[in-house]
Amino acid sequence: MTSTLIAVLLALLPLSAPPPASRPEITLTAQETSIVLTEEALRIHRSGLLIDGHNDLLWKIRSKADSSFDKMDISQPQKTLQTDIPRLRRGGVGAQFWAAYVPPSEEHTGRAAQIALEEFDLLDRMMARYPETFELATSADDIERIHRTGKIASLLGVEGGHTIEKSLDTLALFYQRGARYLGLTHSASTDWADSCTDKPRHGGLAPFGEQVIREMNRLGMLVDISHTSHDCMRDVLRVSRAPVIDSHAGAFAVAAHPRNVPDDVLRMLKANGGIVMVTFFPGYIHPEGAKAMMDFFEQERIIKSQGLSPDEAARAWRAWKEAHPIPAGTVQTVVDHIDHIVGLIGIDYVGLGSDYDGVGIMPVQLEDVSGFPCITQELHNRGYTAEDIHKIMGKNFLRVMREAERIARELQKQ
C-alpha cells in the first residue's frame, strides 16, 4: 500500500495503519518558508493555554494495541503515532479533546454505543495509567484548574451521532460519563442528520435531529458540526440556543472541500457565538489537497461497483492516487484559514482542532503534536498580538464552553 493511499484512507476515518516511514522531499515557496521559533513566540506560547479540539489517539490505541497501554506505552516515544506524552509536553498542549470515534458502518449493528463507551473506559484507563500527566475535565473551570497543576486537562468528545443509536437517554448517559461534545455525523449521513460526504437524506437536520440539539443544549453538551453538510450546519445554527463548535475543519473559501465551513455559515456562527477549530489535515485545508479529496468518495463507489478482487481494487486505488496526490502543505496553509476566519468574522470565533492520529499526513513542521508552537510563531510573524494568539490557542473555546454551561443551567430551571 502506498503512502498516498494510506493518507487518503486515514483521511476518511481514523484507521490503524502507521504513517509512512519516509517523507518525499518538499520544496517550500517563498510564501511558505520554514518556521524558525523565536524566544518571543515561545514565551507567548508558554504563557497561553492551548486547547486542541480533536485527537484520535483513543481509536489508535484500540485498533493498533488492543486498547493496551502496555503494548503502546505513550509515556515513551511512539514512532507509529503522532501523539505521545513527551511530544505533548514539547507542544505545550494544555487541554485536549480526545475523540471517541465509532465507524459509521456500526450505525445499525446495535454496537455503536457500546464501542463509544469502551473508548470512554479507555480514556479512564489512560488517566489512571498516567495520573501525573492527565486529568479529566468536564467544565471550563476544570480546564483552567487542571492546567494550573501542570497536567493536561483531558476532555471527551464523541465523533458521530450514530453512536447514540437514536436515543436521548444514551445521549444523557454519554454526558454523565464525561462527554462534552457530540459530532452529529461522520462520513455517512445518519437517520437524523446529513453528512457532507454522503448523499443528503434530510436536506440538513431531521426532526429528531432538532430534538438532539435541544437536549444537548439542556445538558450542556457542545454541538459539533464537523463532517455535517452545509445545510445541516445551517439547520443546527437555526435551532441551537447555545454556541456551536466545529471541532476540526477549515474555511471553504480557502479550500473548497465540503468538510469546510462556507462564509455564510461562518457569519451565522458569529451570531451564534460559536467557534471553528481549524484542522491541520492537508486534504481539507490545502487548496490542491481539497481538490484531490473531493473525488475520494466517488472513486470509492466506482471501485466497489466494479466487482474487483482486493488486489485489483488496491491497484486501482494506487493508479488513481498517483494521478491525484495530496500535497502536505505547511504551517502557513493552516494559518491561512485562521486569517480568513478572523478577517471575515473576527478574532473571537476561531481555535485549533488538529485531528492528530486521525489522518496519515500532516503539514511540514506539524507532523506530530510537538509542532503546535509553530502555529504560534506564524501568527506572531503575521502580526497577531499575544492576546489574539491566546484567544486562538484556547480562550475562545473557554468562552464558548462557559456560555454553553450557562445556557444549560437556565434551561434546566425551566
Q: Which of 45, 147, 227, 380 is catalytic?
A: 227
- CA-wise closest residue to 247 among 280, 218, 216: 280
Residue 141 annotated among the catalytic residues of the structure: no
Residue 336 annotated among the catalytic residues of the structure: no
Residue 54 annotated among the catalytic residues of the structure: yes
Cell 468518495 locates to 297
Cα distances (angstroms) measured from residue 314 to each of 2, 304, 311: 10, 11, 5
Do residues 235 and 208 make contact, with C-beta atoms less than 8 angstroms apart?
A: no
225: left (phi over 0), alpha (psi -120 to 50) or beta: alpha
Q: Which of 45, 147, 162, 186 is catalytic?
A: 186
Give me the residues paired with residue 136 across strands.
154
Q: Which of 159, 246, 357, 368 is catalytic?
A: 159
Q: Which of 84, 165, 355, 388 is catalytic?
A: 355
Q: What CA–CA distance (Å, rounded) separates 381 from 68?
A: 42
Q: Which of 162, 230, 248, 286 is catalytic?
A: 248
Residue 191 annotated among the catalytic residues of the structure: no
- Residue 40's φ and ψ, nearest 5 degrees, are -65, -45
Q: What CA–CA distance (Å, rounded) separates 65 from 83?
A: 14
- CA-wise closest residue to 273 among 233, 231, 240: 240
Q: What CA–CA distance (Å, rounded) separates 153 from 357?
A: 18
One DSSP character per residue, 53-107 reads EEE-HHHHHHHHHTT-TTTS-TTS--TT-S--HHHHHHHTEEEEEEEEE--GGGT
Residue 66 annotated among the catalytic residues of the structure: no
Residue 248 annotated among the catalytic residues of the structure: yes
Residue 194 annotated among the catalytic residues of the structure: no
Q: Which of 45, 52, 56, 147 is catalytic?
A: 56
Q: What CA–CA distance (Å, rounded) separates 165 from 117?
A: 13
- For the annotated catalytic residues, the residue numbers are 54, 56, 159, 186, 227, 248, 355
